[in-house]
Amino acid sequence: MAARPGWPLPGSSALLVCDLQERFRGSVAAFPQIVAVAARLLQGCRILGVPALVAEQRPEVLGRTVPELGAQDLPRVPKSAFSMAGAAAPLLGDPKIRAVLLCGIEAHACVLQTALELLAEGLEVHVAADAVSSRSQVDRALALARMRQAGAYLSTCESLLLLLLRDSAHPKFPQILPLIKEPPPDTGLILGGGPGGAGGALRPQNPPKSAQNSPKIPPKSAPKSSSVWGAS
């Protein structure tokens, strides 16, 4: 079947899973849901014969890939660079690969830099936005916007699997159906920010006068979070 812009094919696509590691479990927004959606995408790619690679950012500091991803049988490539492109070079060096499906964390660091580098190499990049997160939802929202500006396609796990299938008559459709029949875990994350509604993370910083006159509540101290820099 002929390739079309923005439409990945199983025979010319690869899945890259970025840094879904133990140290991020308590700090990245909607981490369990992000992992669950990424696991669905990974399972679907396995069924459809799409090769996959898992990267780990400084695993000696940030821990190994979480087991619930179900990637124990896949190559897990350690890296110090934020972009996965170098770690994935052996897989992406296959001349048949023209499109990359991308998911993981953090959106504004390793996922963004991976997307930008792959786009510069002439590959199509399809970001599974419902399997991408950051500690800060402002960072996530702006990273997704920048990836789209750079030429990446923003999508969802279910949409990507359906694009790969193209037709309900596909012989693998009965195996994919259980993955998309049940709604994915609700992360509460949208393109514009967090659960507060569209554009939640990008609301104007000047509140309405009624809010300015209301009693000020001291902000809760934020828990100490892991860093993509791999600092211990």
Band of pLDDT at residue 188, cut at 50, 70 and 90 = confident
Query: Could you list the active site residues?
Result: 19, 79, 110
Q: Is the pLDDT of residue 199 over 60?
A: no
Q: Is the pLDDT of residue 136 over 90?
A: yes
Mean predicted confidence (pLDDT) in 157-186: 92
Q: Are 65 and 56 a contacting pair, CB within 8 Å?
A: yes
**Closest among 146, 72, 139, 74 to 114, alpha carbons compared:** 146
pLDDT value, residue 182? 83
Beta bridge partners of 124: 99
Q: What is the pLDDT of residues 28-54, one digit of tens each?
A: 999 999 999 999 999 999 999 999 999
Mean predicted confidence (pLDDT) in 147-160: 97
pLDDT value, residue 189? 77
Percent residues over pLDDT 70 in the chain:
81
Residue type, 131: A
**Mean pLDDT of the chain, nearest integer:** 84
Q: Is the pLDDT of residue 160 over 90?
A: yes
Rounded-to-integer distance, Cα 200 and Cα 206, Å? 14
pLDDT value, residue 5? 80
**Closest among 53, 119, 130, 63 to 91, alpha carbons compared:** 53
Q: Is the pLDDT of residue 151 over 80?
A: yes
